[in-house]
Amino acid sequence: MSTVLPDATDPAWLADARARAAALDAEDPLADFRARFNLPRHHDGAEQIYLVGNSLGLQPRAARDAVITELDRWAGLGVAGHFTGPTAWAPFHEALAEPMATIVGARPTEVVMMNALTVNLHLLMVSFYRPTPGRHKILIEEHAFPSDHFAVESQIRQRGFDPAASVVLVSPRAGEHLVHPDDIAAAITEHGPELALVLLPGVQYYTGQVMPIGSITAQAHAVGAMAGFDLAHAVGNIELALHDDDVDFAAWCTYKYLNCGPGAVGGAYVHERFHGDPTLPKLTGWWGTRSATRFEMATEFDADPTVDSWQLSNAPILAMAPLGPALDLVLEAGGMPALRAKSRHQLAFFDQLLDDHFAGRVENISPRPFTDRGCQCALRITPSDIDGRAVFEALEAAGVACDWRYPDVIRVAPVPLYNTFADIAGFVAILDRLLR
């Protein structure tokens, strides 16, 4: 239990931090949700201090039953499972639209669960990147996740253009880590007439910076460009209002803050103004046709005017089974407003400990204002004689689950749905011991 219990060598401030954490946990209205998840254990048998929900969220205890239920239905019903029972497979994805739409601030007809994130980015760019010789550029951030770079570059090549001429990169200013929203706006204006698409993250994966989705969308629209967002690190982390922000399209994965399981089925959003547009290019498959007539096997593509028409194949039910219970947990906790309210307290607690006791040792490059950050903190070990990567490895060995991102950041995410204030105090205690 060495990872969580007080240590005789704790300095007084740490004993005080642990006491405050215990008091904050005692009055946390979401405290009971932790027990709804399985926590991995460290080799000494104690629960890990799991601060890596930004990479893979914990397993909801209800996930196993949900998968077993579908295995049993398959065993007992065979093909009849498609149309039998409350979780009939043919309409399985439909039940997920409403909870998912609530979490991303969209209408249920604007959200569908399908495929995986990068696949969905491609499918949506087929529809929303429509380059012409005069307007062919895509604006992304220089430090975008590699998959986003690759998806954008390959889309550009696929349409006969050259990424060297068609990719516009926005970067942090020299010596800085965060992208200035002003610089995004300036780049949109500068490339305006040539800009076909702005594709940015909702939350930056490395720094945890929140992008101003509504204003970026308005700026893109003002120059005649589309606005799409990769919400991998935003969904389940910050409040979103995709419909009201007038976002054209978005895609996300569900295995990070939504706890749906490794490689889980992702999500896609398309604003309803595009749903009935027959001129929009689209890759199509039978699962995109109207559910009422799908099994009549007509060979003319006839779709309902919803985002469901972007579906290609029938849903992978075993992979999709954990989504329902996982999304329900977020909503049962009160949805994103409740989770953000707790996160605000957790980050204030964490920030203060870092400010008061780690000056000159640890720098948090995540934005400081709460509105500009999600729950992830990107920590740099600052003394030049200490190797940050070695600190990360020692943290892992001491029972902290976190992650390392090149070149020099340790990402730690206190996830309000299941992390405690005691997790934060425990992490800080281990970090202090390692740096001393």
Ligand X SMILES: *Cc1c(COP(=O)(O)O)cnc(C)c1O
For binding to ligand X (CB under 6 A), which residues are involved? Answer: 116-118, 145, 147-148, 201, 205, 230, 232-233, 253
Q: Which one, 22 or 318, has the nearer CB to ligand X? A: 318
The identity of residue 250, as a single letter, is A
List residues bridging with 41 in a β-sheet: 47
Closest distance between ligand X and the C-beta of residue 337, in Å? 23
Between CA 326 and CA 328 the distance in angstroms is: 5
Three-class SS state of 170: strand
Closest distance between ligand X and the C-beta of residue 323, in Å? 14
Output the six-digit token pair for 270: 């398309």
Q: Which one, 118 or 207, has the nearer CB to ligand X? A: 118
Between CA 321 and CA 328 the distance in angstroms is: 12
Three-class SS state of 421: helix
Closest distance between ligand X and the C-beta of residue 85, in Å? 30
Bond prior to 305 in cis (omega within 30° of 0): no
Q: Which one, 128 or 205, has the nearer CB to ligand X? A: 205
The counts of H helices and E strands in the chain are 13, 15
Q: What are phi and psi of 72, to 5 degrees?
A: -65, -40
CA 344 distance to own-chain centroid: 18
Closest distance between ligand X and the C-beta of residue 119, in Å? 7
Q: Which one, 264 or 354, has the nearer CB to ligand X? A: 264
Q: Which one, 117 or 220, has the nearer CB to ligand X? A: 117
Closest distance between ligand X and the C-beta of residue 29, in Å? 29
Closest by CA position to 172, among listed 207, 212, 129, 202 = 207
Between CA 294 and CA 287 the distance in angstroms is: 7
Which uninterrupted H or E stretch holds 122?
A: helix 117-128
Closest by CA position to 258, among listed 31, 35, 55 = 55
Closest distance between ligand X and the C-beta of residue 202, in Å? 9
End-to-end CA distance of the chain: 21
- Give the β-pairing of 195-201 and 167-170: unpaired
* Burial zone of 266 (CB within 10 Å; 0-12 exposed, 13-18 middle, 19+ buried): buried
Closest distance between ligand X and the C-beta of residue 207, in Å? 12
Q: Which one, 233 or 275, has the nearer CB to ligand X? A: 233
Q: Which one, 267 or 288, has the nearer CB to ligand X? A: 267
Q: What are phi and psi of 245, to 5 degrees?
A: -80, -5
Q: Which one, 147 or 382, has the nearer CB to ligand X? A: 147
Closest distance between ligand X and the C-beta of residue 109, in Å? 24
Tell me if 113 sits within 8 A of 323, measured CB to CB: yes
Q: Which one, 148 or 248, has the nearer CB to ligand X? A: 148
Closest distance between ligand X and the C-beta of residue 402, in Å? 16
The identity of residue 54, as a single letter, is N
Q: Which one, 249 or 358, has the nearer CB to ligand X? A: 249
Between CA 31 and CA 27 the distance in angstroms is: 8
Between CA 401 and CA 9 the distance in angstroms is: 23
Closest distance between ligand X and the C-beta of residue 421, in Å? 26
Q: Which one, 201 or 426, has the nearer CB to ligand X? A: 201
Closest distance between ligand X and the C-beta of residue 426, in Å? 26
